[in-house]
Amino acid sequence: MAQQTYTNDDFLGKGWSFPPTFNIQSKSVEVTAKEVDIQKSLEILLTTTIGERVMEPKYGCNMGDLVFEPLNTTTKTIIIDRIQTAILYFEPRIDAKNITLDTTSETEGLVLVVIEYMVRSSNSRFNFVYPYYKDEGTEIQIITTNTQVA
């Protein structure tokens, strides 16, 4: 039996791509790994409503119930608190160092949630930008960008 070797970033894991994608040639499910898996996990966490997952009823952020709230200091504080709490309980691979809201496009109904985080196993720092649309819409694409901070 071959000996399997592990590296420091194996803790970051891997999981199904989101949305699930199947590879016909290899007859397998596409997976994401390491830092990309963390980004996808954050995206899923921010878009999940609490109670939506049967096996994890407390998983999620409940951002949808804030869609029609005025974007004042109270609402901004609630958004940041929900994200911090969700990351604390459901994303053990990272430490959220700073969460800010970019409201420069507020009049268009867009608030960018900027999460600066550090991967615990490697001390690498990354940014994750999540577009939170204040106004209800259909066929809105989630656009995520990340940059590794030196």
Mean pLDDT over each residue of the chain, to the nearest integer: 79
Model's pTM, two decimal places?
Answer: 0.72
| 123 Rama class: left (phi>0) / alpha (psi -120 to 50) / beta | left
Indicate the pLDDT class of residue 133, thresholds 50, 70 and 90.
Answer: confident
Query: What is the distance between the alpha carbons of residues 19 and 9, in angstroms, rounded to a whole number?
Result: 24
Structural domains of the chain in order of their starting residue, each with its CATH number: 8-149 (3.10.450.40)
Residue 83: alpha-carbon gap to chain centroid: 9
Q: Is the pLDDT of residue 142 over 60?
A: no
Q: Tell me: pLDDT of 134 over 70.
A: no
Highest mean pLDDT among 6-10, 14-18, 75-79: 75-79
Residue 74 or 37, more confident: 74
